Structure 1
Amino acid sequence: MKPRLTIFDEPMLYTEGLSKLLMQSKLFNTIGICNSLETLNKNLKDQTPEILVMSSNMLMLTELYQSIESITTEYKNIKIIVLGSCYDVIDIRKLFNKGIKSYLDKNSRYDEFLKSVNALLLNEIYICDYAKERMIHFISNEQEKRSQHIKEPLTRREMEILKFICDGFSSKNISEKLFISINTVETHRKKILLKLNVRNSVGIVKYALENHIID
């Protein structure tokens, strides 16, 4: 059975034109248009769509987060596509955490929109090519920063000691736990500080938290 689609966007001329174009694709059973939160809420209650397109034109980003979370909580089977205004990687990641299944930028073309819909019909997620490029660039920069931050990787023993430091153990406690001398612990501690380019235990803990070594 063909899915129902709801478009939450403006202006009306654009949404009506998109609706007619999409009906020609014969992908959808019905297409609803909503230009306010009131009409959207009514549409969701009266005839819950399988796919909902939400535009960044309609809501501030914080409001968009709240609306997505509310909708996905109440209507668990809805698959949401967000048309964003070139959001950064962190914002896009948060949108997916809130429950969207697809992200398209405003400069995405019609054929990419169709790819997105087909991916959702296969229960897959979809991110437009432009956003993917930004994500790859973001990851590359993070890896470069990390490689600059650490001159050489920590050894297995240094990782053990790092975790003990984060748990608040003293050098004496660590030496007793690992059956090594305090001097050996202190040597490892100095190497950890040097490799992480931090000054003290607080810097070690901060690094461990930021890199998810500890929760």
Structure 2
Amino acid sequence: MKPNLTIFDEPLLYTEGLSKLLVQNKIFSSIEIFNTSEGLYNHVKDNPPEYLMISSNILMLSDLYNCIDKVISQNNNIKIMVIGNSYDVIVIRKLFNKGIKSYLDKNSSYDEFIKSVNALSSNEIYVCEYAKKMMINFISNEQEKQSSSIKEPLTRRELEILKLICDGHSSKDIGGQLFISINTVETHRKRILMKLNVKNSVGVVKYALENNIFS
């Protein structure tokens, strides 16, 4: 038996046209359309759909977050699909953390919509090609930032000293524990600052924490 779909969007001309196309192609058994939050919430409460498509046309981003929270609090089995408005990677990640199962962008094709439906029917998540490209670029940029922030890898000795710095030890304490002179410790400190591209010990600790060096 084909699943049912609820669409929360406007304008009606677009949503009615889409619903007729989906029913004709036997993608869904039935389709309900809502353009008010109150109507949607009552419908989800009384007759929860298997699939829910929410468009960014009808909600501000903060209202979209609230809508997802409300729907999932009423029924967390609903497979939510969001049609976004060129959202960035941070927003898309937050939407998935909120519980959506599929993200499509306003520029996504009908074929991608069908791919999304098929993925959700197999209990998988779906991210459209546009968002995938953004995510790949985002990851690449983050990797470039990390690689450019460390000109050279830290040596084993520098990592030992970095760990002791993060533990709050002074150069004198570090020298005593590692059986090296204070001057040698200070030389290592300077090289660590240069390699991590930070200005002081506070920056060293912050870098170590943010990059989970000792996790």
**Residue 147 (structure 2) aligns with:** 147
**2:198 corresponds to 1:192:** no
The correspondence of residues 1-215 of structure 1 with structure 2, limited to 5 A, is 1-174=1-174, 179-181=178-180, 183=182, 185-213=185-213
Alpha-carbon distance, 1:173 to partner: 4.8
Q: 1:50 to 1:173 in 2, by over 3 A?
A: farther
Q: Could you state the TM-score of these two structures normalised by the residue count of structure 1?
A: 0.89
Identity of aligned residues (%): 67
Deviates more, 1:137-146 or 1:68-77: 68-77
SS at match of 1:202: helix
Distance in structure 1 (CA, Å) of the matches to 2:185 and 2:74: 54
Contact 2:154 2:195 in 1 (8 A): yes
Contact 2:41 2:71 in 1 (8 A): no
SS at match of 2:10: coil
Deviates more, 1:107-116 or 1:43-52: 43-52
Distance in structure 2 (CA, Å) of the matches to 1:152 and 1:34: 57
Deviates more, 1:58-67 or 1:68-77: 68-77
Structure (1 or 2) with the larger CA radius of gyration:
2
Q: CA RMSD in A?
A: 2.1
Q: 1:189 to 1:118 in 2, by over 3 A?
A: same
